[in-house]
Structure formats: structure tokens, C-alpha cells
Amino acid sequence: MAAVILTVTNNSGGGQPVSMANARAVAGICKQHHILFVLDCCRIAENAYFVRHNEPECAHLSYREIAQEMFSLADAAVMSIKKDGLVNMGGFLALRDHNLSNACTNLLIITEGFATYGGLSGRDMEAIAVGLEEVFEADYLHYRIRSTAYLGERIRERGIPVIFPIGGHAVYVDAQGLYPHIPPHQFPGQALVCELYQVGGIRSVEVGSVMFGKYDADGGFVPAPQELVRLALPRRVYTQSHLDYVIEVFEEIVRRKADTRGYRIVYEPPFLRHFTAQFAPI
């Protein structure tokens, strides 16, 4: 069965929001072609924040009502609850169609076990129920989105190129813009990831040619369209002083940038190499 999955917000595209108009248009195309429309809603509350502040026709709605409106367009939803569920672990698949839901439950029996086996304990499910309520609180969402923007705007002022405007859950640094002297095949994003860890103990992730680069039929290197580094912010963990520390580390990164070198891969698995590849400095 074919399905379209719309991810709100856009994780690999800078954490940018999906507008209500965009979601409606996708739903319309799916309906026209009888294709299941699935919402990856793991950041739907953050998305609702942007929709309310960016789209005048939604300004009178609460964040929760905006999310409900978006859900009303979808046939199904998947959620990694570690994000806008405000809990450590868990996820769900929700389907409107009972036959499909039964088919998924039956498939689950031969893969993971009965739906009632308790992949999630009752305590965790209770925490999820609370998290899904609290995530729509205006104060929480405002603090969350402004914290991410604070980090992004401050490092931008210090000469770090970032995807702008800043997205919801993460700041995305343009590592190629920061290190024009490191060519894509020497992985400027990986160079920044290593710098951040070595200078400040900060963990980030490359979203560039390590993750999306390919080899052509002759083994030639095909770079990714962008060389980004994602600084994702866990929810309800950092205070402003933590982010001020990250900003100070970026000041040092700028001071060292002309001396920063690229990396080469010394080990890579046959697929999904970004999880386990090993590198050496050039």
C-alpha cells in the first residue's frame, strides 16, 4: 500500500515548520489519488507554534486547536514521543481505518508481540498522557522556541552561518559556509562536529555528505546538496547559561577556523554509514 508521510516540522530541512496550507494541499493530492496520508507528528506542537505566529488565518486558534486541525487532514499519524511527548522513550502509530489498524496489530504479533505485551509500561504511558497535554502550554512552547532561536541568533551574530529563520528543535549550521577551505569530500560538517566536541564537549550531528553523500557507478564521490551540522536541543534540559556556554564555544570555533582541517573515512559500513563510520583527520 502506498502512503505519503509528511513530517512536521521538517527535521532534515532546518527544523522549519509545515504550513497549514501545505498540509491541506498534500492531503488533497492524497485524497485525489487514494493514497494514505500519514503525519509524522513528533514535533507537531512546535509546528503549531510557528503556524499560529506565521499564518494570520490561524492566529485566533490555540496551539492545540491548530494541531487538531492538522490531524483532521490525516488518515494516520506516527509519533516518536521522545520529542513533543516530553518523555524519555516511546512512540505510537494511530490509524483511522479499523481494518488497517487490525492488519497492523496482527503484523505486530509476528514481529514484536501482542499490542498489549507492554513495550511501554503503564507508568510511561501515564507520563506520555501528561506530556501531550503540557507540550501545548503557551509558556512552555514560547520558552522552547525562543531558546532555540536565542542560540541560533547569537551564533549568527558571531559570524556562524546558520539556516535562517531558526527552526523549532535545532539550530542548523552551514558548515561549508563556515569552512570554505574544506571541500565536501573532506566533510566540513564532520570537521565542525569534531571541533565542537574537542573544544567544548558539545555533541552534534553532521547532516551533509557523511549522511547523504553517495558514490556513483565508478566509485566517484557525489556530495550531498548541503553540508550542515544539527545542534538539536533536548526539551526541558537546558537553561540560558547552558546556551551561553555553547555560544562561547562557537566564539572559539571562529578563532580556530582557518586552522581547522577536514576528515577522511577510514571505515564505513555498507549502508547508513553515518551511524558507525570512523574518521581520521587530514
Residues binding ligand PLP (CB under 6 A)? 7, 11, 40, 42, 80, 82, 91
> CA angle, corner 213, sides to 178 and 180, nearest 5?
20
Q: Collapsing DSSP states into helix, strand and coil, what is residue 172?
A: strand
> CA angle, corner 233, sides to 180 and 20, nearest 5?
90
CB of 271 to ligand PLP, least distance (A): 17
Complex with ligand PLP: residue 81 or 253, whichever CB lies closer: 81
Complex with ligand PLP: residue 11 or 260, whichever CB lies closer: 11
CB of 190 to ligand PLP, least distance (A): 19
Distance CA 260, CA 257 (A): 5
CB of 282 to ligand PLP, least distance (A): 30
Q: Collapsing DSSP states into helix, strand and coil, what is residue 174?
A: strand
Residue among 42, 34, 64 at smallest CA distance from 51: 64
Contact 205/230 with Cβ under 8 angstroms? Answer: yes
Complex with ligand PLP: residue 80 or 101, whichever CB lies closer: 80
State the first-to-last Cα distance of the chain, in angstroms, to the nearest integer: 47
Complex with ligand PLP: residue 178 or 224, whichever CB lies closer: 224
CB of 260 to ligand PLP, least distance (A): 28
